[in-house]
Amino acid sequence: MNILLELFVVTFRVLWAFVLAAAKWLVRPKEKSVAGQVCLITGAGSGLGRLFALEFARRRALLVLWDINTQSNEETAGMVRHIYRELAEAAPKVAGDGEKDVLPHCSLQVYTYTCDVGKRENVYTTAERVRKEVGEVSVLVNNAGVVSGHHLLECPDELIERTMMVNCHAHFWTTKAFLPKMLEMNHGHIVTVASSLGLFSTAGVEDYCASKFGAVGFHESLSHELKAAEKDGIKTTLVCPYLVDTGMFRGCRIRKEIEPFLPPLKPEYCVKQAMRAILTDQPMICTPRLMYMVTFMKSILPFEAVVCLI
């Protein structure tokens, strides 16, 4: 009897999940506010990381930017400060005993840190500095990533290790650094910028696929752990874009027959879609939507059929 009851409960929950998902398709959820919250972005010096920083800045988040390249990181910070100045100038005035901005410019700040996320101790040391100098992080965007661009037998061992450390292991270190306070407050958001190549693989990028598969597995397991701990105030979003035209994948090609239908994504489009998912607490976003179908087909088709498609 208990088994039948448990089966009924599980079936009901599964069906209810479908209902809620359908409802979100019909009624677009309202975006949440991140104004004044501390948002940390790794790999913020260029590519998607820089665009994420600009999008969060436009939403008045307090930015903490990590990158191994100090100069490019400062360039991103300069762009963020420019957005902050525009927001301060556009803020309406409030009459009273001395006019003041509703959102004073001084409340919007950006902090930069040079950090190699592939090195565990560097992550922990920099995280401690952030806590002391800025405060507790509310939004963690694990975005930093590298691509070796070599076939397995042509790829030096050092590059393989580097890919795994930055694309996968770093997610463990940054999350361990900032999750405890999120758990204590039951508030926060962890974003994992993975890849469609973390859901299905292709030839010639073995280390990259392995690292992104690891990042996806880490994120999904973490999400299950938070759910089991009933920490519903901590949200997670997995971002799995197709190849993005940021220069990282220069020279990476897919099947010629498919390439006209799946050109590399514009980074601005990718980040816009990801931001929409993050701000509506969407658990996962694949860009473009065709990636959902590819992932599904990989699960049901014979291996040789998958080889023909990818």
Count helices and strands in the chain by DSSP H and E runs: 10, 9
Catalytic residues: 208
Q: What is the rounded distance in angstroms from the CA atom of residue 62 to the CA atom of residue 200?
A: 35
Task: Give 131: exposed, middle or buried? Use CB within 10 Å, 0-12, 13-18, 19+.
Answer: middle
Q: What is the rounded distance in angstroms from the CA atom of residue 95 to the CA atom of residue 211?
A: 55
Cα–Cα distances in Å, from 26 out to 12, 20, 224, 288, 290?
Answer: 21, 10, 26, 19, 19
H-type alpha helices, 166-205: 170-185
- Total length of the chain: 310
Please, which residues bridge with residue 111 across strands?
Answer: 64
CB 112 within 8 A of CB 12: no
Start-to-end Cα distance in the chain: 47
Cα–Cα distances in Å, from 76 out to 83, 90, 143?
Answer: 11, 21, 15
